[in-house]
Structure 1
Amino acid sequence: MKIWVDADACPVAIKEILFRAASRKAVMVTLIANHSMRVPSSPYIRFVQVESGFDKADDAIVARVGEGDLVITSDIPLASDAIDKGALALSVRGELFTKENIKARLNIRDFMDTMRSSGVEMGGPPPLSQADKQQFANHLDRILATIKS
């Protein structure tokens, strides 16, 4: 299993959890973003910078992800593409996207886009809470427990 991170919008606290997990489980974590960022020096952590542009990082992840890999993203279309390729997808809030729930999530996302396009003020997501971080870490641990170290 490889872990692919949609790093442009990934909170620092989630990256830190992933960095610790990479070393602990000896699993490759690759962050992909269209702006540079620092990552710890580790044989298990890589950073790939892609050109700026709409969905360039998402496209790079989809091109690289394989069956059985894990994608960390809150981007619903990217999660759907990862699932279509046989990967797992986990949001930064610890929600596991699955074949069973991704279509409903896409429908909700599209509905919200339509509402925003019509001028309805929706506001953004709430800040990442301690409970969100704990849920993410717990779900990540359960996923990583299924692979051999």
Structure 2
Amino acid sequence: MVMIFVDADACPVKDEVVRVAERHGLTVTFVANGGLRPSRDPMVRNVVVSKGADSADDWIVASAASGDIAVTADIPLAARLVENGVHVLGPTGKPFTEASIGMAVAMRDLKQHLRETGEIRGLNPGFTPRDRSTFLGALDRTVRMAVKAAAAETPAGEGK
């Protein structure tokens, strides 16, 4: 069964992920260093990891299987997940794929270098209602695609 993993530290689309997951009957796992609101929904899991650098990232990479879905704005985490066959979306709905992850990593590295040298400031654009709407559509499409692919891989009679 397809699962959704969310790099939940500072994720602006947690509610949207839950809405889409409920619609499709999927389990969601929010992973963070802390500050997660408990949920009464049995399909929503919260995992709090140690405060160490990349603890949440490492947990997600170890837990997500090929064909699962992950939501993260963290480009290095997205690269690790794409390499493992996970469908990855950013919170604005931008998919990270085998074809796009190399450029995303290169742009992240370039921007980091430009910030460190003072050429640019470290401001990210604000999260807009349009970003939220785009994310909802992209997540719904990704879920449908992942569920369909998982069903095609499951031999008749299994997974029931």
Class of the TM-score when normalised by the shorter of the 2 chains: over 0.9
Q: Deviations over 1:63-102 (max 9, x none)?
A: 1111001110011110010001010110000000100010
2:137 matched residue in structure 1: 138
Instruction: Select the structure of larger CA radius of gyration.
Output: 2
Q: How many residues align?
A: 147
Please say if 1:57 is aligned against 2:56: yes
Any runs of at least 4 consecutive aligned residues in structure 1 with deviations exceeding 3 A, and if so which? Answer: none
Contact 1:4 1:61 in 2 (8 A): yes
Contact 2:20 2:136 in 1 (8 A): no
2:96 matched residue in structure 1: 97
Partner Cα separation in structure 1 for residue 122 and residue 106 of structure 2: 18
Opposite residue 123 of structure 2, the aligned amino acid is G
1:28 matched residue in structure 2: 27
Query: Which region of structure 1 is more displaced relative to structure 2, 83-92 or 137-146?
Result: 137-146
1:19 matched residue in structure 2: 18
Partner Cα separation in structure 2 for residue 108 and residue 23 of structure 1: 34
Partner Cα separation in structure 2 for residue 108 and residue 99 of structure 1: 15
Opposite residue 7 of structure 1, the aligned amino acid is A
Opposite residue 53 of structure 2, the aligned amino acid is F
- Structure 1 runs not aligned, ≥5 long: none
Query: Could you tell me the TM-score, scaled by structure 1's length?
Result: 0.93
- Structure 2 runs not aligned, ≥5 long: 152-160
Opposite residue 121 of structure 2, the aligned amino acid is M
Query: Could you tell me the TM-score, scaled by structure 2's length?
Result: 0.87
* Deviation of the 1:39 alpha carbon: 3.6
Q: Percent identical across equivalent pairs? A: 37
* Deviation of the 1:131 alpha carbon: 0.8
